[in-house]
Amino acid sequence: MVMKYILLVEDEEELVELLSIALKDSGYRVLTTPRAPQALMMCMNQKFDCIVLDIKLAQGTGDLIVDGIRKPKHLNEKTPVIITSGYLDQDLVRNIAGKIHGVVVKPFDTENLLQRIAVLCGK
């Protein structure tokens, strides 16, 4: 079985640890970063099966990452993206609505997120 790659872009260390363990236990290969610029760089060099992305990061915002990867011929142009956030700006959500595959509001149920990822990854 081919291992699916997940990019987790999150700046809350405890949440990164929790989700990384849950994703690895579910059979995914997980790469993480807390910063938008690094996430964009990673997306240029690695094809992911799903990207889980906090909308508000200490360095940058998730919408910039979404806009960056949705360019024609980008390696992750069609990669499913799930946005996570404790606070959702409705204008921001409207601006990226057609470019993402789901929104999960913090705090969220980890099992629910894992199920969404499994569906998007075809697991």
Q: What domains can you pick out in the chain, each with its CATH number?
A: 4-121 (3.40.50.2300)
pLDDT for the residue numbered 9:
98
pLDDT for the residue numbered 1:
64
User: For residue 97, is pLDDT > 90?
Assistant: no
Quote the tokens at residue 79: 């990669």
The mean pLDDT of the chain is 93
What's the start-to-end Cα distance of the chain, in Å? 10
Mean pLDDT calculated for residue range 55-83: 92
Which residue in 100, 38, 36 sits closest to 70, CA to CA?
100
Quote the tokens at residue 117: 């990822």
d(CA 70, CA 91): 19
Mean pLDDT calculated for residue range 82-96: 83
Which residue in 6, 67, 9, 69 sits closest to 35, CA to CA?
9
Length of the chain as a residue count: 123
User: For residue 88, is pLDDT > 80?
Assistant: no
Q: What is the pLDDT of residues 11-67, one digit of tens each?
A: 999 999 999 999 999 999 999 999 999 999 999 999 999 999 999 898 888 899 999
d(CA 10, CA 105): 13
Do 120 and 50 touch, CB atoms closer than 8 A? yes
Query: Confidence band (pLDDT; 50, 70, 90) for 110?
Result: very high
Burial 88-113 (b: 16+ CB within 10 A, else e): eeeebeeebeeebebbbeeebeeeeb
pLDDT for the residue numbered 46:
96
